[in-house]
Amino acid sequence: MDHFLYRNGELYAEDVRVSEIAKAVGTPFYLYSSATFRRHFKLFDDALAGMEHLVCFAMKSNSNQAILTLLAKEGAGMDVVSGGEYARAKAAGVPGNRIVFSGVGKTREEMDAALIGGIRQFNVESEPEMIVLNEAALALNVVAPIAIRVNPDVDAKTHEKIATGKSENKFGIPISRAREVYAQAASLTGLKIMGIDVHIGSQLVELEPFEQAYKKVRELTEVLRKDGHEITRLDLGGGLGIPYERSNEAPPLPKEYGALIQDVLGDLGCEIEIEPGRLISGNAGILVSEVIYVKSGEDREFLIIDGAMNDLVRPSMYGAHHDIIPVIEAAPGVEQAKYDIVGPVCESGDTFAKGRNMPPLTAGDLVAFRSAGAYGAVMASEYNSRPLIPEVLVDGDQFAVIRARPTFQDMIDRDTVPSWL
């Protein structure tokens, strides 16, 4: 459930009319609901109640400072994957002991920053990384807490670009070699083993792949404990999917996911960490765009809108579906039209939907892309010199621009023309 609902035939974000925000801010823009963010975070927190746990928001899905600050106030930890994300999390007031650092290519500089600023744990993804982290910790005279990310070789049954837990993927160490790698980690005095980390992919719409992976983590915990390692934490990654197509998708709920964790791992006495991104942010955001033209092709109608692939790349990058709805609800009984919904960028790939049923629309009408709060703004670019679009946050009956639209001059000023030209 989210807080973007029709009232009297008009789309609202919580208690604010979407059209009112569009008037104030201009289109296109991202629009987030505070209540939905809070609600989704709490769903996970409640799902793990009864076990010692920390919900670390995967901030790669949405890293606006206002969103991070809101979630930090709810008690969220953060899952970061770069020095930039680490700096953002700290700037939002998240203490180091609530930040886990994931990613296959952490640099020495990133490690140093986190070791100095404070870190809950590094999720180490390879032996070479382990060696560099050990050196970094020894040089700073500190001990780096680690979990080692294992690749359990299970099929997450999701889009190939966002599956991470098969042996052919670049992530983690093969679970078959885990004992050897943990033994090596234990011999490095700059590291302290805290636990095991696993993440098998994103937008998972079934629990079964999680179950397979978590059972393997359970077995490994027992084996490593027999080998003499102290395993006190399990980081179970993120990946729980959301209903992008509301009419026919119903992925498992956080409550069911939490029950599975409790079932498979509950008796091990480990603290549980999870790293959900999409389920917290995805349906907490929409993208609002205006129709520029309705154009008749030979055999179809094109709805040309002012949002484009540079603003929301998921449809062109993954063939992803987003529900697109009119901001002014169609009158009952109005016959649907069929549109190819496209942006102004000069590529045929700048297509959001083909043959989509919508009420008839004309220039100036507003549409909203649902489920755009995750991997939307963070993946945007300024391709075609289209300025990054603003982000707006609603909370009850108030709203604020949480990232302003740059002017053309701002964009131009970011470049430097060398004096010899």
Residues at the site binding ligand LLP, with contacts judged by CB under 6 A: 58, 61, 79, 102, 162, 199, 202-203, 237-239, 275-279, 314, 318, 374-375
Nearer to ligand LLP, 83 or 359 (CB): 83
Nearer to ligand LLP, 144 or 279 (CB): 279
SS3 state at 283: helix
Nearer to ligand LLP, 25 or 102 (CB): 102
Question: Is 276 assigned a ligand-binding role in the annotation?
Answer: yes
Output the smallest distance, CB 102 to ligand LLP, in A.
Answer: 4
Question: Is 386 assigned a ligand-binding role in the annotation?
Answer: no
Output the smallest distance, CB 421 to ligand LLP, in A.
Answer: 37
Q: Among the options 346, 364, 397, 419, which is catalytic?
A: 346
Output the smallest distance, CB 35 to ligand LLP, in A.
Answer: 20
Question: Is 314 assigned a ligand-binding role in the annotation?
Answer: yes
Known catalytic residue at 346? yes
Question: Is 375 assigned a ligand-binding role in the annotation?
Answer: yes
Cα separation, 24 vs 16, whole angstroms:
12
Question: Is 318 assigned a ligand-binding role in the annotation?
Answer: yes
The answer for residues whose C-beta is within 8 angstroms of residue 325's C-beta and 6 or more apart is: 11, 367, 368, 370
Task: State the greatest distance between any 2 C-alpha atoms of the chain, in Å, as a whole number.
Answer: 71
Output the smallest distance, CB 57 to ligand LLP, in A.
Answer: 9
> Could you tell me if residue 130 is left (phi over 0), alpha (psi between -120 and 50 degrees) or otherwise beta?
alpha
Amino acid at 181: V
> Could you tell me if residue 208 is left (phi over 0), alpha (psi between -120 and 50 degrees) or otherwise beta?
alpha
Residue among 387, 417, 418 nearest 405 (CA): 387
**Cis amide prior to 28 (ω within 30 degrees):** yes
Output the smallest distance, CB 319 to ligand LLP, in A.
Answer: 11
Nearer to ligand LLP, 160 or 219 (CB): 160
234 close to 217: Cβ distance less than 8 angstroms: yes
Rounded to 5 degrees, φ, ψ at 127 are: -70, -45
Question: Is 277 assigned a ligand-binding role in the annotation?
Answer: yes
The answer for residues whose C-beta is within 8 angstroms of residue 139's C-beta and 6 or more apart is: none
Nearer to ligand LLP, 3 or 314 (CB): 314
Q: Active-site residue numbers?
A: 346
Which residues are known binding-site members?
239, 275-278, 314, 318, 347, 375
Which residues are known binding-site members for substrate?
278, 314, 318, 347, 375
Which residues are known binding-site members for pyridoxal 5'-phosphate?
239, 275-278, 375
